[in-house]
Amino acid sequence: MDVKKFFQSSTFRRLAIFFCIALVLFLIRKIINLVLLIFIFTYLMDRIHKFIINRLSKILPVNRIVVVSSMYIVIVAALVFGIYNYLPVITTQVVQLIVQIKTFYMNPPDERIINYIVTAIKKVEISGYTEQGLDFLYKYASNIGQWGIEVLIALVLSFFFLLEKPRIIAFTRKFKNSKISLFYNELAYFGERFSRSFGKVIEAQFIIALVNCILSVIALNFMGFPQLIGLGFLIFLLGLIPVAGMFISLIPLCTIAYTIGGMAHIMYVIIMILILHALESYFLNPKLISAKTNLPVFYTFLILVFSERFFGVWGLIIGIPVFIFLLDVLDVTDHDKKEIETTE
């Protein structure tokens, strides 16, 4: 291979720019939470905005700015109402749940099966995820001010982006014919692939987590679980972790189930989780995520293990979307499904 041609090729340029982007993200790692929140809010609100525009435009002419402003007025009003009425309840219940779960595992009941399960949980990696996740929730429940400021900044920036989206796109396109056009073209390539893969997977994760949260709270209510608002919040956050999140939620749910109803309630919770997992695997995932992004369970857990090591708790949420983005950049697709069938 000609080394000179390789350094002049588009592949080398894209690799160089990709590593530059990775370096920038590493340098701004202290504010990576804010960056991720801005992207997630902007992407999800843009999707909602397009959905509303497409539906309303079939009935009557609509003004884009009016729709964007109305969306954020409704969201801000809902946030204010929720924070005023439910934030103290959620914070209290989440802290109580965390204390209750930690107390249970520090002092398990004197039963053979329970002691065996607790010992097994402590030996596997999933216990580490649960502990970090609970510590993450405890940290933000205790320091709600910092979390609220980050969410507020992300909402404001996403609002201004959607409000001036045509102007922002037009201004950004000016770089296409500038002296850094080469850099712009490669950034545009990565940006388009990133929003197409990472964004859609994040969107699917939010929808699946919301559906699982609603169905779980309904089922837990029938089973007589206390602190449903805090549990719903916990289930929603864990539901953002693909596949593994639902099974991680078994640990706190089974702990609470045992305290209120013994082994019978634990069996009810396990049956509920299995039904929800079947719903996610056979209905929600095929509807929301393409076959290309529907990874085998082995790959899913492997990615979660490595992403948690590199990115912490955020890695459990963004690990799969980042991997899907890399697959999209590398053009890894199911070109021939017959190859899989012949190897079986």
Counting every residue, how long is the chain? 344
Each of the 344 residues of the chain gets a pLDDT tens digit; together they read 566 666 666 677 777 887 888 788 778 877 877 888 888 888 888 888 888 888 888 887 778 888 888 889 998 888 888 777 777 777 777 777 777 776 776 776 666 666 666 665 555 544 455 555 555 555 555 555 566 778 888 889 999 999 888 898 889 888 888 888 878 888 888 888 888 777 778 888 888 888 888 988 898 888 888 878 878 888 888 888 776 777 777 777 887 887 787 778 888 888 888 888 888 777 777 666 654 456 777 777 788 778 777 776 677 778 888 888 887 777 775 544 444 344 44
Q: Which residue from 234, 253, 284 is spatially nearest to 104, judged by alpha carbons? A: 253
pLDDT at residue 127, rounded to an integer: 47
Ramachandran class of 331: left when φ > 0, alpha when ψ lies in -120 to 50, beta otherwise: left
Helix (H, G, I), strand (E, B) or coil at 5: helix
**Is 114 in contact with 258 (CB distance < 8 Å)?**
yes
Q: At residue 111, what are phi and psi to the nearest 5 degrees?
A: -130, 140
**Residue 49 identity:** H
Q: Which residue from 190, 187, 159 is spatially nearest to 173, judged by alpha carbons? A: 187
* Terminal Cα distance for the chain, rounded: 36
**Is 252 in contact with 101 (CB distance < 8 Å)?**
yes
pLDDT at residue 126, rounded to an integer: 47
Helix (H, G, I), strand (E, B) or coil at 244: helix
DSSP string for residues in 134-149: HHHHHHHHHTHHHHHH
Handedness of CA 155, 310, 294, 12 (dihedral sign): positive
Question: 233-255: buried (b, 16+ CB within 10 Å) or exposed (e) per residue?
Answer: bbbbbbbbbbbbbbbbbbbbbbb
Report the alpha-carbon distance of residue 81 to residue 295 in Å, rounded.
39
Q: Which residue has the tokens 């079947």?
A: 278
Q: Is 327 exposed, middle or buried (0-12, 13-18, 19+ CB in 10 A)?
A: middle
Q: Which residue from 301, 292, 310 is spatially nearest to 243, judged by alpha carbons? A: 301
The DSSP element (H or E) to which 204 belongs, if any, is helix 200-222
**Residue 9 identity:** S
Instruction: Tell me, yes or no, if the pTM score tops 0.75.
Output: no
Q: Which residue from 194, 176, 184, 173 is spatially nearest to 13, judged by alpha carbons? A: 184
